[in-house]
Homo-oligomer: A and B are copies of this chain.
Amino acid sequence: MSKSAVVLLSGGLDSSTVAYIARKEMGSKGKIYLLSFLYGQRHSFELQCARKIAEELCSPFQVVSVGLKGLVESALVGSSAIPTSGVDPKVIPTTWVPQRNSIFLALAFAYAETVEAEFIYAGMNAVDYSGYPDCRQEFLTHMEKSLNLASKKYVETGRGFGLITPLIEMTKAKIIYTGLELGVLYDKTWSCYKGPDEQGRACGECDSCRIRLAGFATVGAPDPLKYKETK
């Protein structure tokens, strides 16, 4: 029997890697449904990247709008500055968007119920993760159970949807290594919290750029993106 999965795809390095992992794990007869969100993020360039990844994977791609702007305070959906101070694992940075993963997972489970996919793949990572509460395994385990309790399929059949987070225990280097083996086109992904500058370059100094650059450095592979400042 063929398997299918909904994949949360932001167009970043992690979720793009997850999309390739999901495609492999669903098998040649399986299907993946790629889901992105327009939630008031500072730039929509990552959505263009997500679309390119979806084209590469020849998979259905849908963008859902969620009106988070005006509802939450976050450097990622507002106008306040993106921090460039480096990663302190004890502090939740201003780039955190309250309940973002909760909202995205709830929408992904809703979509999975509709297209009758058995799995939801998502790129949460508990190693190089900027300290976001909604990237921790404890949250993910609880949320999977909660969303199954709200699902018609689970209530009617006792079988729930499976939330798969293949990157959860991986370092950024391990993620990149895995993705390179699967043929992920990292030149089509985007990680920088800021959009590209007029020359198409990432800033190289926000948390997301720092973590990505360190990962490629550890693997010993070149990052195909262009950077304004390389560390």
Query: Chain A residues in contact with chain B, CB under 8 A?
Result: 62, 64-68, 70-73, 92, 96-103, 106-107, 109-111, 113-114, 133-134, 136, 138-139, 142-143, 145-147, 149-152, 154-156
Contact = CB atoms under 8 A, between A and B. Distances in A.
A152 B154 CA distance: 30
Contact of A133 (B98, B142, B149): B149
A147 B133 CA distance: 10
Given A66-B66, A99-B113, A143-B146, 15 more contacts: A65-B67, A66-B107, A73-B114, A92-B152, A99-B109, A99-B147, A99-B151, A101-B150, A102-B146, A103-B110, A106-B106, A133-B150, A134-B150, A139-B149, A142-B146
A70 B114 CA distance: 10
A12 to B, nearest CB: 19
Q: State the oligomeric state as a number of copies.
A: 2
| Interface class of chain A by DSSP | helix
Nearest to A111: B71
Nearest to A151: B133
A70 B139 CA distance: 28
Contacts of A92: 152, 155-156
A71 B67 contact: no
A114 B71 contact: yes
Nearest to A143: B146
A99 B110 contact: yes
Contacts of A70: 62
A98 B109 contact: yes
A107 B103 contact: yes
Contact of A149 (B62, B73, B142, B147): B142
